[in-house]
Structure 1
Amino acid sequence: MFDFLLTEEQLKLREAARDLVKWVPRKMILDMDADKITFPKEFLQEAAGRGLFGCRYPKQWGGQEMDWVTSCMLMQEVGTLGYIFACTFGIGSELVCDAIILHGTDGQKEKYVKPLIKGELFAAECLTEPRGGSDFFGTTTTAVDKGDYFLLNGQKRFIVGAEGADYFLVYARTDPDAEPHKALTCFIVDRSEGVDTKYLYGLMGCRGGGAGRVVFKDVRVPKENIIGKLHGAYSVFNTMMIPERLGTAAMTIGAASPALDVATSYSSRRKAFGQVINQFQGVSFQVAEAAMLLDAARSMVYMTARAVDAGSEQNLIRRMVSETKKFVTESCQKVAHNAMQVMGGIGYTNVYPIERISRDLRLASIWTGTNEVMSVIAASEWYREYAKIRAARLPRDYEADSVASDEVEEKIYE
């Protein structure tokens, strides 16, 4: 699908991703969902060995110097295995790497990015805390300056990859008296003395990704492990929202696609009332709607990816990424809903994977910023954008294009 958007080089990489998808044993998928595998290290090493990690990054650090369209394509393909596969794939090779590549030093890139892209190290991002996730500035984890190092204390939760990570990207409060935008710092924290991880959540779906609680107790973090500037975590966080939210949208498409595949196959064979059920509009229209939603979701993801690649204005990208994350995740949840509805009772069992897909996809509209937060951002950026459009003058005064537009006494605004 959408092959015309991809170059020959991208199509070749897509085939490598599809070969990875074929390689994954059925037992691995089932064991992860059953929490028999708590972190898919073997899968991540295989993906890295096939050259699928870090496609957007400079070759100097092990990447392939490609673009966001390529990243989205890879996330979509990996996501077909299940949402958690794409989550763990993206956390390290896209998310943590992005922070270090964009804001880190060459020494940090050499020490942490290159081995991660090779599959020799694994990483996790630590943002969410027990008191809340979307409230970034409410972080209570602290890092106190002790001269040669910072002393880190606090805890993070729901951290995907916590169980298998060799190092963590951690946001902590370094200036308790500063205004929120200048109070936090981003650190690279090695798994060392004082770092404790617990795989303890009874997750509804997306199991087997090492999601856990990370507790930091008097952890010494060297000053050379600051990413970006001291008290400058906000700048890191802003750039991270692109891989977090655009990546989430792309992987959600992949995770939802098998639901449409299974429902289409089922409805093409299942008979009721003397005919194949795809002959009934009540069935075929739901399948058609699911296909339409996936096509619309792909269109939105790739358009947004192109906007990011083109270096579009930051407020526009912020709005587009937020809209994309919200629209795509909700559309894909509707795809899974339609698939189960088409299949009826059997879709509600574990005879088919629809129930697992539905459980997994529920996470999509919650993590990396809830969809309600996406609406807040989209609304804010749209009104700001509209003010600029008005200031620059619209192509015409659309409000005047009505019969009674001159009835000014009827236009009451206060």
Structure 2
Amino acid sequence: MKNFIETLKNVWKIEELKNRILVTLGLLLVYRFGAHVTLPGIDASQLHSLAGQTEKGLGSILDMFTGGAFSKASVFALGIMPYISASIVVQLMGIAIPYLQKLQKDGESGRKKLNQITRWLTILITLLQGPGYIYNLYKTIPQSAFLLGADSPWFLFSSVLILTTGTIFAMWLGEKITDKGIGNGISLLIMVGILARLPQALFQEFQSKVTDNQGGPMLLVFEIIVWLLVIIACVLLVMAIRKIPVQYARRTTTGDFEQDALGGNRQWIPLKLNAAGVMPIIFAQAIMFIPPFLANLSKSDTSQSIAAVFSNMFGFWYNFVFAMLIIIFTFFYTAITVPTNKMADDLKRSGGFIPGVKPGIDTADFLDHVMSLLTFPGALFLALIAIFPSLIIGLGVQQSWAMFYGGTSLIIMVGVVIDTIQQVNSYLLNQHYDGLMKSGKNRKAVA
């Protein structure tokens, strides 16, 4: 505990890190404030039926991703999900479209152009989703809740415009947090929305088990212990690393490389069990919203049955498809984020090699093979944790509390927290180095 307090003091002593943390907290506060601002022209006191729609099924996930903004008919009701959907589309299109493939290889300039394409696509998706959300309001809340009248074209136009602006502003907040704050801004916005529901979910479970006497306090304690064990499992999944030994040969006077008598200088390549992080969960969850949306466009019995199946997030087929998508996206995201060919080329140029493997193409193939072996169990474990809430709910756990036993919520929280802590640690380590350099400069100035 003493070391933890000392670390917090050290964090506060670093001016740049302190400013970044304050900027992050400030922008997150703005996002949470906006989640409670209701769309103009809607009576906020008559949204009980909309809140009831988001207590179960996919509506609860939408509300969770937006931090409750969806059920409050907020200006941030669509949240950051259109941006996530746009990112998925751009990355998937990057496989088939040569222009996007070229941008992915162009470094920083290509990344900026891809970000610009993603932003424009986000606006397009929001303009398509906005009318759907307003149409859902027409069907869900009473007509008296529309102060301008439900049939007012001005209300439809202004609300879609405000929802689009809200998503763009949320996207801007996330990018500013990434640039000026600490951690990944988009992931932090999602995590804060999820954490906003945690106290209420825990209170409802406490009320169910203790106040309503549906198992008693001991069962609640057991549930919390299981929850902590699942958190530990998520941490192990995110942190697990396989190290590949790399040997470096020394350069001779002729410019060639040769291995010295002691076997060269050995280092390691760290390859993560889950190199994709939380992105497969987010991508798969975004895709799972599509089948019920498309099925509801038709009134046929087949379409309605499909909509019912994919709206039941605790059903077998929903979780089976969800798990398959997570596994597929884990392999896909790992393939585009771990450049094994570039790693092999860098090793060859620097005189490094993996013992028993030829430099160049053979090294790239070896790294691909190792990444495949690591990714497969990592993807299975990630999928298992993702569908764990559907397993735990069979033991009598309330749905709102079961959502935190893995699934989208817990994986995102653990992944984002670990990523943010690692960035803070890097600042602490850099400050130790900068402090020595600063002392040296001071000594030189005094001399």
Q: Could you tell me the TM-score, scaled by structure 1's length?
A: 0.30
Greater fraction strand: 1
Q: Could you tell me the TM-score, scaled by structure 2's length?
A: 0.28
Task: Say which one has the larger Rg.
Answer: 2
